[in-house]
Amino acid sequence: MADKVLMKGNEAIAEAAIKAGCRHYFGYPITPQTEVAAYMAKRMPKIGGTFLQAESEIAAINMVYGVASAGLRVMTSSSSPGISLKGEGISYLAGADLPALVVNVQRGGPGLGGIQPSQSDYFQSTRGGGHGDYHMIVLAPSSVQEMAALTVKGFELADKYRMTAMVLADGTMGQMMEPVSLDFEVTPPPEKPWATTGTEMKRKHNIVNSLSLVPEELEKLNIARFERYELVKQNETMYEEYMMDDAEIAIAAFGIAARVSKNAVNEARKMGIKAGLIRPITLWPFPDAPFKKAATHVKEIISVELNMGQMIEDVRLASECKVKVSLCNRVGGMIPSPEQVLDAIVKASK
């Protein structure tokens, strides 16, 4: 394991971003993601990159908008309250079809809430987060290795589809250390002929813009954008299935909840209960297929979440209400224990 180092999830994100060619980072201090900024502050000056601590999250996301307009890989990171502030900018990025990476290391809310782990921004991120009709590609890592890998993937997908990609982590994922290998194959950015890099008197001017005052034209833009989203759904949906082949009880969980649930599934199997786990890796696009399939052979799907029940709505939609879907949760910065999940599995099996 000589090639592996122990890193905090937040640091793994930062280093992976650099590996992916990101040389511009803008952020604002907020727990529990500040290590991303601190890491960038140390590394960027040494590799000719830019680290700037913005005066606010609002300023940071607009700095991201600027670099994205210039056609370069760029990112910002924050935690829940800061992501709300960035919501406006994220909507403008979508309206201008700009690629960017946003990291949300979630904490409990609403409002200032707490600083302990949470998954309560599921709705906010999978539905877009700001005003208007749009989506982000939402990636949910459940290990420090995935924090790194999905950061790289996020940059690639953002460029490929001219969208904002979000890495949706939580305080546990950000703070924990695990072995990481940072040996990635990175797809370099595509040509960006639309970028505002100066005409050099050789081409018509490029305009990066989200304003469109003629309804017929704005409608066309929206429809075209959603045609692109369809391609994302077809090509980029990711999930992991664990012991699902013969499962009679299925757990739906992402991020830290999936780690806890895996323990519970293993324990249930020891007790002779056929439990399995479906772990969405992309939360948008949501992986409908494994749930549709599971609905044909499981008795119940238990959605394990660190919120009051958000992903459960997508699980119900994906399984087309053909099977009972129940919730097993903790909120406010609390994390369900493997025992709590096991209890839910045992109850469902009876």
Partner 1 sequence: MIVYDKPHALLDVPLHYCPGCLHGVVHKLVAEVIDELGIEGKTIGIAPVGCSVMAYDYFACDMIEAAHGRAPAVATGVKRADPSKVVFTYQGDGDLASIGMAETVHAAARNENITVIFINNAIYGMTGGQMAPTSLVGQVTQTSPYGRDPKLCGYPIRVCELLSELEGPEYLERVTVNSIPHIRAAKKAIKKAFMNQIEGKGFSLIEVVSSCPTNWGMTPQNALKWIEEKMLPYYPLGVYKDRSNGEVK
Partner 2 sequence: MSTKQFLFSGFGGQGILFAGKFIAYKGLIEEKQVSWLPSYGPEMRGGTASCSVIVSDDPVGSPIVTYPDVLVAMNLPSLDRFEEKVAPGGMIFLDSSLIERDVVRKDVKVFPIPATKLAGENGFPTLANMIIVGKILKELGEYNDEGLKAALAKVISAKHADMMEVNRKAIDLGASL
Query: Which residues are at the interface with partner 2 (CB under 8 A)?
Result: 1, 4, 6, 31-32, 115, 171-172, 175-179, 256, 259-260, 262-263, 266, 335, 337-339
Assess contact for 208 and 72: CB atoms under 8 A: no
Select 45 or 132, whichever has its Cβ closest to partner 1. 45
Least distance CB 265 / partner 2 (angstroms): 9
Residue 26: φ, ψ to 5°: -130, 135
- Give the residues lining the site for partner 1 (CB under 8 A): 28-31, 34, 37-38, 41-42, 45, 51-53, 55-57, 81, 111-112
Least distance CB 335 / partner 2 (angstroms): 6
CA distance 268 to 262: 10
DSSP secondary structure string for all residues of 195-240: S-S--TTTSPPP--------HHHHHHHHHHHHHHHHHHHHHH--EE
Least distance CB 100 / partner 1 (angstroms): 21
Least distance CB 1 / partner 2 (angstroms): 5
Select 334 or 346, whichever has its Cβ closest to partner 2. 334
DSSP secondary structure string for all residues of 232-266: HHHHH--EEEES-TT-SEEEE--HHHHHHHHHHHH
Select 112 or 231, whichever has its Cβ closest to partner 1. 112
Which of partner 1, partner 2, none has residue 29 at its interface (CB below 5 to 8 Å by kind)? Answer: partner 1
Which of partner 2, partner 1, none has residue 63 at its interface (CB below 5 to 8 Å by kind)? Answer: none
Least distance CB 338 / partner 2 (angstroms): 6
Select 230 or 339, whichever has its Cβ closest to partner 2. 339
CA distance 132 to 72: 25
Torsion angle defined by CA atoms of residues 141, 228, 287 and 303, in that order, rounded to the nearest 10 degrees = 70
- Return the H-helix or E-strand segment holding 169: strand 164-170
Alpha-helical (H) ranges within the chain are 9-19, 34-43, 57-69, 80-95, 122-126, 144-161, 171-175, 215-236, 255-270, 288-294, 311-318, 338-349
Select 320 or 339, whichever has its Cβ closest to partner 2. 339
Which of partner 1, partner 2, none has residue 175 at its interface (CB below 5 to 8 Å by kind)? Answer: partner 2
Which of partner 1, partner 2, none has residue 177 at its interface (CB below 5 to 8 Å by kind)? Answer: partner 2
Least distance CB 83 / partner 2 (angstroms): 19
Which of partner 1, partner 2, none has residue 171 at its interface (CB below 5 to 8 Å by kind)? Answer: partner 2
CA distance 63 to 54: 8
- Return the H-helix or E-strand segment holding 53: strand 50-53
- Return the H-helix or E-strand segment holding 301: strand 300-305
Which of partner 2, partner 1, none has residue 132 at its interface (CB below 5 to 8 Å by kind)? Answer: none
* Nearest Cα residue to 122 out of 346, 313, 339, 343: 313
Select 51 or 254, whichever has its Cβ closest to partner 1. 51
Least distance CB 4 / partner 2 (angstroms): 7
CB atoms within 10 A of CB 240: 17
Which of partner 1, partner 2, none has residue 268 at its interface (CB below 5 to 8 Å by kind)? Answer: none
